[in-house]
Amino acid sequence: MPKKYHITPKPAPLDMDYVFKFTIVRGENCINCGKCIKVCIYEAHKRRTDDPRKMADPNTVVCRNCFRCIQECPRGALEKSINKDYSNIGGAFWKPDILMSLWKQAEDGNVPVSGAGYRGPFTGIGFDSMWTDMSEIVRPTRDGIHGREYINTGVDLGSKLNHLTFDSNGQLISVVPETIDLPFPILFDITAYKLSLHVKEAILKAASVIQTCLIIPVTEITPELEKHSDNIIPSLASTDIDKHEAILKKARLVAIDYSDAMLKDFQALKEKIKKHNHALTIVRVPAVKNVEEIVAKLTQNGAEIIQIVADYRGQEINESSGKDGRLLKDIIRAIHSRLVEDKIRDSVTLVASGGIGMAEHVPKAMLCGSDLTAIDIPLLVALGVRVFEEPQKLLVFPEGLDKIPSRKLTQRIVNLMGAWHSQILEMMGAMGIREARRLRGESGRAIFFEEIDRESFGKLFKKEKR
């Protein structure tokens, strides 16, 4: 049995205020009795250091909305309201709660909790319309976090064989394709963002700590970053392969942007890369309307790893994006089904990216049919970046980010991934799945709202055909 994979979190607070949900105001009728200190387990209320007889202003950043202080105050001196900044960030997909949760997980690496419980809707769009089968949660041994059961989150990148062939003497004659093992089903991908060298180096160091890889444009790989070449996946166009021979020689994986010319002679592209290195090739395919057809043809032509790149909200990249565009969940299911029908599913590794914003999205994407995922925005939110969806996508970087020690930025990303790893273990344990590889396409362990809604009410409410 392989050694257990573990990510070690350490507190890494930033000296900057992020968005908090509530504003707590202490009224003039406060009698400084300290009752709020006793009832608040999150330490939102404390006495002033200069005068302990009086109460300090509430620390709303740590508030978890349990309302104990409001209920127990004998004079009704505390008032709570929604912070305006909180209401303005994010959007329909990157909700303020998601952004704030990512920030808190990056602070200490703990699994997020809510003092007020869950009061939201039980379904939504995309992965929110998908529930996982937690029937095994009743078994006391299903506990990956505390180590009472071994749960492996490792995945393989590369092509696999459908079967093995032996000769009459029992000797293996099948040529086993080369694969790369990752202990965690997540890649980092920052190809869409122009980041400073300081930030890129911090993200790359975090990738090295958790033993994953960072996809980064080949033109942005500086000598400082090349120190971690084992964790770098250079991204480039097929026409630029010969221009970056020195960098490609050090890479274990190479990411190539898709072009229609690849469908004609993909083997020639692979041979071109092999002149410089025997690295495995990732083809980055945008999630356009006919992406299933593209992926099927690439796989038939010998593609080993294909990354499906949706937009930052996990939607199709075409004119129909928005209300009519497919979401990443449905795109992955369609691709997986097509490859299964063509009997070539094991010939390729699928990486799902775009709109992966929560830990639960990772196993859900894998249940839909991907082998692993790639993330981007959560890494930036962990560093204090604010996301705005309306009227158009906007990322606002905090002032002074480049002055924060690199080790602290690295630790925040490590903390975030540690919290995600714990949540993935919890989900796998509750589903009774001990191997992350078994998640792929295991849609029987999931419930899709659209399907049960159609089965339950479709006949009652469907429109009559004219």
Interval 297-314: pLDDT, tens: 999 999 999 999 999 999
Looking at residue 377, its pLDDT comes to 97
Q: Count of CB atoms within 10 A of residue 117's CB?
A: 8
Alpha-carbon 71 to chain mean position:
37
Looking at residue 245, its pLDDT comes to 86
116 or 284, which is more confident: 284
Q: Which two tokens stand for residue 389?
A: 């969806």
Mean pLDDT, range 310-327, rounded to an integer: 79
Alpha-carbon 22 to chain mean position:
26
Q: Which two tokens stand for residue 410?
A: 């690295």
User: CATH for 155-453?
Assistant: 3.20.20.70
pLDDT at 295 over 90: yes
Looking at residue 429, its pLDDT comes to 87
Confidence of residue 147 (pLDDT cuts 50, 70, 90): low
Looking at residue 319, its pLDDT comes to 63
- Range with lowest mean pLDDT among 96-100, 187-191, 261-265: 261-265
**Angle value at C-alpha 112, between 17 and 311, nearest 5 degrees:** 80
Mean pLDDT, range 169-194, rounded to an integer: 91
Report the candidate in 255, 228, 183, 137 with the shortest Cα–Cα distance to residue 417: 183
Mean pLDDT, range 252-279, rounded to an integer: 87
pLDDT at 124 over 90: no
- For the chain, give the mean pLDDT: 89
pLDDT at 357 over 50: yes
Gap between the Cα atoms of 15 and 107, Å rounded: 11
pLDDT at 35 over 80: yes
Looking at residue 466, its pLDDT comes to 43
In order, the DSSP letters of 149-193 are S--B--EEES---S---B-TTS-B-S-PPP-EEESSSEEEE-TTS
Confidence of residue 142 (pLDDT cuts 50, 70, 90): low
pLDDT at 206 over 80: yes
Please report how the helices 406-431 and 361-368 are oriented relative to each other, as an axis angle in degrees rounded to 10.
Answer: 50
Paired strand residues for 394:
388
CA 198 vs CA 105, 180, 210, 271: distances in Å: 22, 28, 19, 35
Gap between the Cα atoms of 95 and 88, Å rounded: 10
Torsion on CA atoms 184, 335, 159, 225, rounded to nearest 10: -50
**E strand intervals along 191-313:** 214-217, 232-236, 253-257, 280-286, 305-309
167 or 154, which is more confident: 154
Mean pLDDT, range 428-444, rounded to an integer: 92
396 SS3 class: strand
Confidence of residue 456 (pLDDT cuts 50, 70, 90): confident
pLDDT at 146 over 70: no
Report the candidate in 95, 94, 157, 149 with the shortest Cα–Cα distance to residue 376: 94
**Angle value at C-alpha 204, between 308 and 211, nearest 5 degrees:** 75
The fraction of the chain above a pLDDT of 90, given in percent, is 62
Looking at residue 139, its pLDDT comes to 61
Identity of the residue numbered 42: Y
pLDDT at 321 over 60: no
pLDDT at 52 over 90: yes
Torsion on CA atoms 436, 439, 441, 447, rounded to nearest 10: -160
Classified by CATH at the fold level, domain 22-82 comes out as Alpha-Beta Plaits (3.30.70)
Mean pLDDT, range 104-109, rounded to an integer: 94
Look-up: residue for tokens 């999205």? Answer: 361
Q: Count of CB atoms within 10 A of residue 102's CB?
A: 27
The fraction of the chain above a pLDDT of 70, given in percent, is 93
Q: Where in the chain is the domain with CATH 3.20.20.70?
A: 155-453
Q: Where in the chain is the domain with CATH 3.30.70.20?
A: 22-82
Looking at residue 119, its pLDDT comes to 66
Mean pLDDT, range 2-8, rounded to an integer: 83
H-helix or E-strand spanning residue 248: helix 245-250
pLDDT tens digit sequence for 182-200: 999 999 999 999 999 999 9
Looking at residue 246, its pLDDT comes to 87
Looking at residue 18, its pLDDT comes to 79
pLDDT at 1 over 80: no
Gap between the Cα atoms of 326 and 315, Å rounded: 6
